[in-house]
Amino acid sequence: MQITISVNGSAYTGEVEPRLLLIHFLRDQLGLTGSHWGCDTSNCGACVVWLDETPVKSCTVLTAMADGRRVLTVEGMERDGRLDPVQEGFARCHGLQCGFCTPGMMLTARWLLDHNPDPSPEEIREALSGQVCRCTGYENIVRSVRWAAQQRGGDGHGGHRLAPGGAQ
């Protein structure tokens, strides 16, 4: 079937199998391998991307369902050569080890900060509870998101809405 999807601001039009999962479309067809596949069952969150304004688990979304919509992946978080504060926070606060869950974690954290700019540690844990990290024990992930939250307004970069695609 024919689809048109905006991924990180660039439009892709092409033929896909109706059963093609979004994660495989992004990874295998577009070569955007930053999003990872981890479990098949929507439990781990390694595959989280944004579909329009919402984080989704792309291992259980059909590419066809993204037709006409905007997708944001980890590759689209950096803007004009500057890391998103969430990305910077993860690096500064040792919020990752093997790096496999990290893209999904960061995209959900970005969504959280867009909706709750100053979340408590408990609110961060709740927001990330659909995602699994096997390396960090989560403590430093919470610190990373808190660090990103504290940058809000500090340099004019933090806390912006990372609206994907659209007119870009």
- In this structure, which amino acid lies at residue 101? C
* Shortest separation between residue 135's beta carbon and other proteins, angstroms: 5
Burial of 67 by CB count in 10 Å (0-12 exposed, 13-18 middle, 19+ buried)? middle
Residue 102: CB minimum distance to other proteins, A:
5
Closest CA to 73 of 41, 19, 136, 31: 31
C-beta closer to other proteins: residue 12 or 37: 37
| Stretch 35-94 residues interacting with other proteins (CB under 8 A) | 35-41, 43-44, 46, 73-75, 77-78, 83, 87-88, 90-92, 94
Nearer to other proteins, 31 or 167 (CB): 31
Residue in the block written with tokens 């992930």: 141
List the one residue out of 53, 67, 88, 54 whose CA is nearest residue 25: 67
Work out which of 121, 150, 161, 168 binds other proteins, going by CB under 8 A: 121
